[in-house]
């Protein structure tokens, strides 16, 4: 080992003393003292204390170097445990949110629970032997929104049977192109269109929310991580056994009251549909929210996780269980994210389910869902405890608007609601208003009506953003209602239910209350209890 290596291993390059005694005083037997000793030839003989000192320093340097190497190798092993997939497999992108006045931006992370039965363990845990090796489904989807100022967190669950348009996605492994869905299909199928990046693309298309990261976990991962944490408390208001007469159900069996669940029992809780509330995916989402809230509280309160061995076990189980995007592809990046998330107290966490209505046996987003998405896009706390954040001045589009007379605008009627038919003649009227203002290329699309709660101007690509903003400005439509979308081929004005009559648009006052239909649960609520269907008690 070189002298430089030895120096690097010790503070300030100093040599370590050979014993615990004060180095200024020689050992009691005189060996290694400061006074030189003479040899038989009258010269200076080697001092054993100096030799011991050098050997001690060398051994210490070797131990430090060995420990550092072991730590590095262990760190690399944890990094290698993480499976990584691209963030977004779709063609369209959603603009990143505008920073607030302090220059801070929110974080949006999509949590995905896969029902993959791609291993013997996952098949055993998931059941349904006939589905072994089949295309996985994204049966759990939750968007976690961390506010720009890191004071609050919002979670939105989307039921797995929500009908959505899945955009075109390209599999990064073999280049397979999955065309955009022909009509609406269940959102959980998005995972089979190339991977979690297509689920991200589907969410962005539906919500207009820019997603920064995703984290995906499978059955085995849920079980191993629940074991590593040491149990999570959940509550039922009666004894429950989730099993139907024909053998369906998760198999969850609990007594009335609060129980610490772990391992396979935790997976059963998260998957239970038969036995909770009305037996729907909506009830399952409520149960998942209860589990997540309790998990957060347990992690913050559980002092046993200060044990290095328990932390190491949790780190190993977590990294083995997760698939992440490259932006979270190292333990350090995951740790940094967890540090940001830990800044939020449980009482500032709000769990919600996307407002929806039934379409046959499936569900679709409602107007309240769009309102919930807007609150997240605008970084408004769902618990109502924050004032609307001050925003920095909006960025000017890179491509300026064309002359008004050269901007082609298509006007569509979106005034239809759940209770009212579309207001007649709105496209012709509003197109006429635009032409009167100098937009000679404004045309009315009378092919059908849409349902749009608020008037919106959409554009398909960045080069038309300036034109879209100019149209909104001319009509007094707020800039927040100008949105990029691949559903249109040019600048498109959709006259919403907020402009059913008249020629002058009046922007409605902003309602920033979380819709009741979102079934909000506060993260600090430790008294929540799942209602058990009497048909599943024992």
CATH of the domain at 462: 3.30.70.2390
What pTM, to 2 d.p., does this model score? Answer: 0.69
CB 521 within 8 A of CB 438: no
> Looking at the domain assignment, is residue 533 inside a domain?
no
Q: Which of 107-116, 262-271, 289-298, 392-401 has the lowest mean pLDDT?
A: 392-401
208 vs 374: CA distance, rounded Å: 8
> Looking at the domain assignment, is residue 408 inside a domain?
yes
Residue 443: domain span: 404-509
Residues 351 and 461 in one domain: no
Residues 77 and 217 in one domain: no
pLDDT at 350 over 70: yes
DSSP, collapsed to helix, strand or coil, labels residue 430 as helix
Residues 432 and 454 in one domain: yes
Residues 324 and 415 in one domain: no
Burial zone of 256 (CB within 10 Å; 0-12 exposed, 13-18 middle, 19+ buried): middle
| CA angle centred on 139, ends 137 and 143, rounded to 5° | 120
Residues 340 and 410 in one domain: no
The pLDDT of residue 393 is 52
287 vs 155: CA distance, rounded Å: 14
Residues 212 and 151 in one domain: yes
What's CA 468's distance to the chain center, in Å? 30
DSSP, collapsed to helix, strand or coil, labels residue 427 as helix
Please give the full DSSP string across 199-253, using - where no structure is assigned.
HHHHHHHHH-PPP-EEEEE-HHHHHHHHHHHT-EEEEESS-EE---TTS-S---E
Residues 154 and 276 in one domain: yes
> 301: closest CA among 229, 239, 371, 251?
229
Among the candidates 55, 81, 107, a domain finishes at 81
CB 354 within 8 A of CB 159: yes
159 vs 361: CA distance, rounded Å: 12
> Looking at the domain assignment, is residue 515 inside a domain?
no
CB 20 within 8 A of CB 28: no
> Looking at the domain assignment, is residue 263 inside a domain?
yes
pLDDT tens digits, 187-232:
999 999 999 999 999 999 999 999 999 999 876 677 777 777 778 8
Both tokens of 536, joined, read 């599943």
> Looking at the domain assignment, is residue 382 inside a domain?
yes
pLDDT at 11 over 60: no
Residues 166 and 304 in one domain: yes
Residues 168 and 242 in one domain: yes
Domain of 240, CATH number, reads 3.40.630.190
Residues 358 and 461 in one domain: no
pLDDT tens digits, 438-461:
999 999 999 888 888 889 999 999
Q: How many domains is the chain partitioned into structurally?
A: 3
> 470: closest CA among 451, 500, 493, 445?
493
CB 450 within 8 A of CB 499: no
Among the candidates 25, 51, 81, a domain finishes at 81
> Looking at the domain assignment, is residue 287 inside a domain?
yes
When pLDDT is cut at 50, 70 and 90, the band that residue 462 belongs to is: confident
pLDDT tens digits, 18-61:
333 333 343 333 333 444 444 444 444 455 555 555 655 665 56
Residues 366 and 237 in one domain: yes
> Looking at the domain assignment, is residue 526 inside a domain?
no
- Tell me phi and psi for residue 234, to 5 degrees: -135, 165
When pLDDT is cut at 50, 70 and 90, the band that residue 376 belongs to is: very high
Q: What is the 3-state secondary structure (H, E, C) of 385-404?
A: CCCCCCECCCCCCCCCCCCH
Among the candidates 81, 107, 141, a domain finishes at 81
- Tell me phi and psi for residue 111, to 5 degrees: -95, 130
Residues 97 and 227 in one domain: yes
């Amino acid at each position: 080992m070189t002298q430089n290596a030895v120096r690097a291993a010790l503070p300030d390059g100093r040599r370590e003393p050979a014993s615990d005694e004060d180095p200024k005083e020689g050992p009691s037997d005189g060996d290694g003292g400061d006074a030189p000793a003479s040899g038989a030839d009258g010269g200076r003989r080697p001092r054993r204390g100096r030799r011991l000192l050098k050997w001690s320093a060398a051994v210490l340097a070797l131990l430090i170097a060995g420990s550092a190497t072991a730590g590095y190798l262990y760190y690399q092993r944890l990094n290698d445990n993480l499976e990584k997939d691209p963030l977004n497999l779709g063609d369209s992108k959603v603009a990143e949110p505008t920073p607030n006045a302090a220059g801070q931006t929110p974080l949006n992370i999509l949590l995905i629970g896969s029902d993959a039965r791609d291993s013997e363990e996952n098949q055993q845990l998931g059941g349904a032997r006939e589905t072994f090796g089949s295309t996985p489904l994204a049966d759990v989807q939750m968007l976690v929104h961390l506010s720009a100022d890191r004071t609050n967190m919002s979670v939105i669950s989307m039921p797995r049977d929500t009908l959505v348009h899945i955009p075109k996605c390209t599999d990064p492994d073999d280049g397979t192109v999955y065309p955009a869905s022909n009509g609406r299909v269940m959102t959980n199928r998005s995972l089979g269109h190339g991977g979690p990046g297509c689920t991200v693309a589907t969410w962005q298309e539906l919500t207009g929310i820019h997603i920064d990261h995703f984290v995906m976990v499978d059955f085995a991962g849920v079980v191993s991580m629940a074991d590593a944490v040491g149990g999570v408390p959940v509550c039922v208001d009666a004894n429950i056994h989730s099993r139907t007469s024909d053998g369906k159900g998760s198999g969850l069996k609990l007594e009335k009251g609060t129980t610490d669940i772990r391992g396979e029992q935790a997976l059963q809780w998260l998957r239970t549909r038969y036995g909770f509330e009305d037996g729907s995916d909506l009830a399952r989402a409520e149960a998942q929210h209860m589990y997540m809230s309790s998990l957060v509280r347990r992690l913050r309160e559980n002092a046993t996780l200060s044990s290095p061995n328990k932390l190491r076990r949790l780190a190993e189980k977590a990294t083995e269980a997760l698939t992440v995007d490259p932006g979270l592809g190292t333990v350090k990046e995951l740790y940094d994210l967890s540090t940001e998330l830990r800044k939020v107290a449980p009482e500032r966490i709000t769990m919600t389910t996307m407002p929806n209505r039934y379409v046959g046996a499936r569900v679709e987003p409602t107007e309240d869902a769009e309102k919930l998405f807007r609150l997240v896009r605008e970084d408004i706390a769902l618990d109502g405890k924050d004032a609307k954040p001050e925003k920095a001045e909006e960025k000017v589009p890179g491509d300026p608007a064309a002359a008004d007379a050269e901007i082609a605008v298509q006007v569509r009627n979106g005034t239809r609601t759940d209770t009212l038919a579309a207001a007649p003649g709105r496209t012709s009227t509003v197109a006429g208003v635009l032409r009167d203002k100098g937009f000679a290329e404004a045309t009315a699309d009378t092919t059908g009506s849409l349902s749009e709660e608020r008037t919106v101007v959409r554009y398909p690509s960045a080069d038309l953003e300036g034109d879209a903003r100019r149209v909104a400005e001319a009509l007094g439509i707020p800039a927040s209602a100008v949105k990029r979308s691949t559903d249109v081929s040019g600048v498109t004005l959709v006259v919403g239910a907020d402009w059913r009559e008249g020629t002058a648009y009046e922007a409605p006052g902003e309602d920033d209350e979380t819709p009741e239909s979102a079934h909000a649960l506060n993260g600090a609520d430790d008294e929540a209890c799942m209602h058990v269907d009497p048909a599943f008690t024992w």
